[in-house]
């Protein structure tokens, strides 16, 4: 199994390390050529969603990746990656892939609480969740399954072959969220 990790900006190296720990090959997607060879899943890391959208556009990656996601390529977006997938950004802001039926609020926890860790339920497991200038979903359509909440705010969702988390599972020892994604890939 090969998983492509978008590597134009942000915390991509940590995802590749995590995949390696799980015995999975992760490779960096930096340019259009990198997605020519077959792969089984895509990770969109944390970082700065506006820069990533701009770079995706400039590098000619936005449309081909969007087509792949629409075609059912399993995708996992963390933090900024969740914003890239969202169909709507609260308060304006241009959606990127717009394939996931949620509305996200960027930098949703304000300055004071910009970064924090908590323990919450993800699917049926308790896991540690580091948040870094994170978004949350202010709305999820009926076809979206909510997998985690913090403070009554939606912080992880699944819609078909798309998984998104507002937090950073790559910064914890726990592998539950990756296992969930790998299981999704197996089933898709």
**Interface with ligand GLN (CB under 6 A):** 46-49, 79-80, 83, 106-107, 132-134
Q: Which residue, 2 or 117, is less far from ligand GLN as judged by CB? A: 117
Contact indicator for 75, 85 with CB cutoff of 8 Å: yes
Active site residue 79: yes
**Least distance between ligand GLN and beta carbon 86 (Å):** 11
Q: Which residue, 40 or 50, is less far from ligand GLN as judged by CB? A: 50
Q: Which residue, 47 or 71, is less far from ligand GLN as judged by CB? A: 47
Give residue for tokens 């979206």.
Answer: 144
Q: Which of 148, 40, 142, 58 shows the shortest CA–CA distance to 96?
A: 58
The 10 Å CB-count burial string (b at 16+, else e) for 157-167 is bbbbbbbbbbb
Which one is catalytic: 15, 79, 96, 150?
Answer: 79
Active site residue 170: yes
**Least distance between ligand GLN and beta carbon 35 (Å):** 22
Active site residue 118: no
Catalytic positions, written as ranges: 79, 168, 170
């Amino acid at each position: 199994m090969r998983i492509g990790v978008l590597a134009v900006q942000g915390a991509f190296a940590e995802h590749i390390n995590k995949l390696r720990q799980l015995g999975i090959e992760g490779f960096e997607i930096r340019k259009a050529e990198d997605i020519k060879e077959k792969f089984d899943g895509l990770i969109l890391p944390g970082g700065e969603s506006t820069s990533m959208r701009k770079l995706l556009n400039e590098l000619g990656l936005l449309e081909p990746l969007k087509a792949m996601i629409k075609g059912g390529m399993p995708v996992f977006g963390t933090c900024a990656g969740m914003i890239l997938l969202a169909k709507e950004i609260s308060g304006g802001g241009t959606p990127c892939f717009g394939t996931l039926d949620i509305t996200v609020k960027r930098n949703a926890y304000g300055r004071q609480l910009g970064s924090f860790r908590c323990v919450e339920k993800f699917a049926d497991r308790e896991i540690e969740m580091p948040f870094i200038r994170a978004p949350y979903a202010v709305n999820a359509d009926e076809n979206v399954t909510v997998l985690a909440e913090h403070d009554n705010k939606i912080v992880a969702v699944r819609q078909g072959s798309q998984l998104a988390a507002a937090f950073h599972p790559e910064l914890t020892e726990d592998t539950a969220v990756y296992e969930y994604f790998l299981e999704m890939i197996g089933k898709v």
